[in-house]
Amino acid sequence: MKLKYQLFILPVFVLLFVAYLSTYVVKETDQVIITRFGEVRGEPVEAAGLHWKMPFIDEINRIEKRYLPWDGPASEMSTKDKTYLIIDTYARWRISDPKKYFLRLRDERRALSRLDDILGSETRNAVAKYELIEIVRSDKDREIKSNQSLAQASESSGQSYAIVTGRTKIQSEILTKAAGKLGDFGIELLDLRFKRINYNETVRRRIYERMISERQQIASKFRSQGAGEAAKITGKKQKDLLKLSSEAYRKVEEIQGEADANASAIYAEAYTQSESASSFYEFTKTLETYKKVLNSDISLILTTDSPLFNLLKSFESVGESVEEQK
């Protein structure tokens, strides 16, 4: 009984093993190419599920159905105006014809190498056809907001270029030309973009120097405008000070003149009440004049009819009468 059981189990295992080798599973993300002794058999299998093949002689080759990334190396390129840029690009692609792809490339490693060659070449050719500003600016219709002072400085210091194509259309041009070449390998190029655009070190230094020069021009312009405004403010200040000083001096003179007039009126009213008061006023004023005019350093020569001499003369007459009385 044990021997019969073993003889029954052995063929079952053999049949199960052969059935296992005769089947394969296709995933939703795969497509399968069947080769027999290195030659492709039939059409690619794209339907997901369980499928049959000839055991031992058929080989399963799985090919990716999903979108695949391509990240190209950063390469130095020259624009039309001989400006060197370091451009880093990336793309998305898929295998649209598995049979053609398998016959021409076999695996993804060779496909990526072919993408490097074709996309790198087309990018270099496109960049060489356009000016730097065409590659940097994305769209010719996009409105750029800039500082008015910087814009004026740029216009005065350099030439301005009109955007004709723009970066978006340049990328589309590369995509169209590269897609036609990659179609021969069963590859569909879905999209291509510039990931990063950097200046060459020499170009970067030159651009920095230009930026510094432009901002120095703007700073110089602002300084000159500020100096002009400062001169205007200083002149206005001096004018206002002179005006205030003249008005203050006029008011002081008016007040002083009014005070002198009032004092004179008071004096006149006080010393014109009688003849003796008037004589006393004349006498005191003459003495004040003597006090101001006469001192030891002055030699004074007066005529006999001088008002100052009259008082001195009267002093002499008074002295003589006093002597006679004695």
Question: Of 31, 64, 97, which one is at a domain's C-terminal end?
Answer: 64
Residue 245 lies in a domain: no
> Could you tell me the pTM of the whole model?
0.58
- Give the position of tokens 């492709």: 40
User: Residue 38 corresponds to which tokens in the numbers above?
Assistant: 């290195």
Looking at the fold, whether 127 and 50 belong to one and the same domain comes out as no
Q: Can you tell me the distance from the alpha carbon of 39 to that of 37, in angstroms, rounded to the nearest whole number? A: 6
Looking at the fold, whether 160 and 110 belong to one and the same domain comes out as yes
Looking at the fold, whether 177 and 189 belong to one and the same domain comes out as yes
Q: Can you tell me the distance from the alpha carbon of 268 to that of 57, in angstroms, rounded to the nearest whole number? A: 149
Tell me what percent of the residues of the chain surpass a pLDDT of 70.
81
User: Contact at 8 Å (CB) between 135 and 127?
Assistant: yes
Looking at the fold, whether 80 and 188 belong to one and the same domain comes out as yes
Domain residues for 32?
Answer: 19-64
pLDDT (tens digit, 9 = 90+) per residue, 283-323? 777 777 777 777 667 776 767 677 666 666 665 554 444 44
User: Contact at 8 Å (CB) between 208 and 115?
Assistant: no
- Give the orientation angle of helix 307-325 with respect to helix 275-293, to 10 degrees: 110
Entry field: residues in the chain: 326
The DSSP bridge partners found for residue 26 are 49
Structural domains of the chain, count: 2
Looking at the fold, whether 94 and 164 belong to one and the same domain comes out as yes
Looking at the fold, whether 87 and 54 belong to one and the same domain comes out as no
Residue 80 lies in a domain: yes
Whether residue 7 is predicted with pLDDT greater than 70 in this model: the reply is no
Q: Can you tell me the distance from the alpha carbon of 199 to that of 136, in angstroms, rounded to the nearest whole number? A: 11
Looking at the fold, whether 191 and 82 belong to one and the same domain comes out as yes
Q: What is the pLDDT of residue 326?
A: 44
pLDDT (tens digit, 9 = 90+) per residue, 105-147? 988 899 999 999 999 999 999 999 998 888 888 765 555 555 5
Looking at the fold, whether 50 and 75 belong to one and the same domain comes out as no
Q: What is the pLDDT of residue 319?
A: 45
